[in-house]
Structure 1
Amino acid sequence: MDLKLDGLNALVTGGTKGIGRAIAETLAAEGANVAICARNEAEVDATAAALSASGVKAIGRALDVADGPAVAAWVEEAAASFGGLDIVVANVSALAIAGDEASWQAGFAVDMMGTVRLVDAALPYLERSRAASIVTVSSVSGREIDFAAGPYGAFKAALIHYTQGLAFNLAPKNIRANSVSPGNIYFKGGVWDQIETGNPELFARALALNPTGRLGTPQEVANATAFIASPAASFITGSNLVVDGALTRGVQF
């Protein structure tokens, strides 16, 4: 299937590792120009260079998505460099699991407001796009109570609600908005890699819960994200695409 991404311009937050890196690479492989951000400047520069090897334009900026002015400046830079914006992927999370006030504040600043400010900054450009699409990366922890109940799960649930509201309100402007909810995703240096080493009992329990007998990969989430972000999914908006190997049991009507 031709996703019709060739020549489109995309933003991906947290684009140097794991799911975000896989999304950026997949969009670039499909012909989209990609702007990434993350906090580590060396990793941003290296990733942008690697993406450019796909024959597309790729730029990066080191920033914290909790810094609203920095996010806005990055969006402006990308739009100027590419000559517009078509796709916005909000991927960054504070991964705030603990129940203390600092964790709640971090989850709100990064997961929630990092996404809201990104979308707000990009909207003037999306309104001029022929294929405007917003994708927020949520989590199955937003659908059900699991070990990540607390800030992480609460804000991931809020992201789904926020995104579906965007879909309804922006539909008259031909801007689509969807969320993608990954299950447990394994990659080196990621959360589940750390859990496998630091808490093997929890890792074994999580593995046993999934009827596929394995955890997912960043590429599997990236494939779903690239599709739902693309013009090939032109009549899909307001959806939450679960990518979890049948981990969650709740029926999503």
Structure 2
Amino acid sequence: MGNQVDRLSHLSYAEVPTVDPNGLDTDDGPRIGVSYIFSSDDDELEDGCAADGTEKDPNEEEKHYDPRDEVECAVYNREECVYEKSAKCANLEVYSPENLLNKCKAGDLVEFVASGQYPHWAVCVGDFQVVHLHRAEVKNSFLTDASQGRRCRVVNDLYKFKALSPDMVVQNAMEQVGLKDRELSWRNSESFAAWCRFGRREFKMGGEIRIGKQPYRLKIYLSDKHAHLLEFQSLEDVIMEKRRNDHLGRTAVLQELGTHFRASPETVHRSIIS
């Protein structure tokens, strides 16, 4: 492409054309397309900022979090499940930062959550400190400071890859402290933290060649019996869409899907990410 876009470019479901008026997909028919183009996570929308990009006071009261608005989903690489977040398969209970201090240990991954914000991930490195990608810089902070009033939880088991040893996870994280801007190899805090723990190149920008059929599927659980499927060429693109859904919340995601397909969100559909 001639003009490369270095910010996030996402087409909502409502903006994407489809031939079938109900948006239903068939094996030989047209499929929906949604694209991320040379994208990186919106730093101004993540980590203690309002949706409009304005600063928030890190000392303000605890931010609102509603577990009912969690978007439950799974990620498959071909037929293998590589990530799953659901009440059935993972402990989604959250704690205050002070209470989490006694529940996490060096090498653990921590996720900070609040309604209307991107989730923020960090690596515990011991002594109540974490290393995290914040505002295009890898920083070493106290866990309570990194939380910025958000609830938090240990998320070691969301990704299904084999973890490195705790010492290696901490070493990976500490060696990156101080990197910023063009030195970075990760689009967001989640990709950085997951790379530290699992050491897999898929979490880095450009870590996978984007050719051929999309090998990744994002399965968004709509109910106990129904789901919506999206397909991607790389894990980093899956993470971008998953994080966008987390930012919107379950209610908004179901409304977006329902509006696009002009049908109940309880219908199963398939889309393609190109």
Q: TM-score range by the shorter chain?
A: under 0.3
Q: Which has the higher helix share?
A: 1
Instruction: Report which of the two structures shows the higher radius of gyration computed on alpha carbons.
Output: 2
* Structure with the larger RCO, 1 or 2 (CA within 8 Å, 6+ apart): 2
Q: Which has the higher strand share?
A: 2
